[in-house]
Amino acid sequence: MLVVIRGAGDIATGIALRLYRAGMQIVMCDLAQPTSIRRTVCFSEAIRLGETTIEGIRGVLCRDASSARMAAQSAAIAVMADPEASCVSDLHPDVVVDAILAKRNLGTTRGMAPVVIGVGPGFTAQVDVDAAVETMRGHYLGRVYYTGSPLPNTAIPGLIGGYAGERVLRAPADGTFTPCVEIGDEVKAGTVCGTVAGQPMVATIDGVVRGLLQEGVSVTRGMKSGDVDPRCHPEYITMASDKALAVGGGVLEAILNLTAFLGTHDAAPAIDAVIEAADVSIVGGYA
């Protein structure tokens, strides 16, 4: 089974790891200059470096759909600088997963593949995707919606080690980002972790730098540019997060559930069969 994933950040990477380990072939699409924060666990780094390895799985940069197909067939995850996922028209994948996490739909439609899955807010199952997966930390994380939508974005990061918004590092100004520390470094509250236009980006809590933009990225004031983990476990920076893997498990469920009903390349009967078999009732938008 060939799956194209829009996005190659940390959540998209957690999805890719789950699907790859389940035997699927993966092609990921991201920006030519990715803005991923947790770069040590993002296959988007292959765009910058040519290749990267995450949890023992190799991701390689591919220039076109043909080379991406070959890489995916040869036990690697193919990564392309293709934010519009234009490769879909050439690859004809079995599944398209939108994991851009833009909080809105940036052009994904149900007709792109036999099964189309949206990740996070901005998607409605049975309208623009066949299923949607919850990304909000808490009781519903990883839940699959076969009708309805994930929870709206609250703009409040989830709690990690007792901290939420405090752990996020945001650009202090518009301009070009320059890091002053590296991912994995231990920092204290007050440590300058980066600068933009001569203005410091300062940590507000003690912890380990879990994520940081690479040098030279253009940022806007308030843009998320880093992340400090107060749990102080440096080994976490090389492993996909609990959230990423939970979301990946939801995507895997949706793919297996929907493709089990597909005898043709028409997804609509599959979705109807899933809903009827599950005897789903919707209360307050939840399935």
- What is the C-alpha to C-alpha distance for residues 225 and 240, in angstroms, rounded to an integer? 19
Q: Which amino acid is at 89?
A: S
**What b/e readout covers 81-113, taking b as 16+ CB neighbours within 10 angstroms?**
bbbebebbeebebbbbbbbbbeeebeebebebb
pLDDT at 279 over 60: no
**CA nearest 175: which of 222, 226, 227, 228?**
222
Task: Give the integer Cα–Cα distance in Å for 253 and 8.
Answer: 20
Mean pLDDT of 212-224: 95
Report pLDDT for 160.
Answer: 75
The mean per-residue pLDDT over the stretch 52-56 comes to 97
69-78 pLDDT tens trace = 999 999 999 9
What is the rounded distance in angstroms from the CA atom of residue 272 to the CA atom of residue 66? Answer: 34
The model's pLDDT over 131-168, given as tens digits with 9 standing for 90+, comes to 999 999 999 999 999 999 999 876 667 667 776 788 99
pLDDT of 173 strictly over 90: yes
- Residue entry with tokens 């780094």: 45
Mean pLDDT, the chain, whole residue set: 90
Name residue 46's beta-bridge partners. none
pTM of the predicted structure, to 2 decimals: 0.87
Ordered structural domains, the chain, with CATH: 2-153+243-278 (3.40.50), 165-230 (2.40.50.100)
Which band of pLDDT confidence, cut at 50, 70 and 90, is reported for residue 269? Answer: low
Separation between Cα atoms, residue 131 and residue 135, nearest integer Å: 13
pLDDT confidence band for 283 (50 / 70 / 90): very low
pLDDT tops 70 at residue 273: no
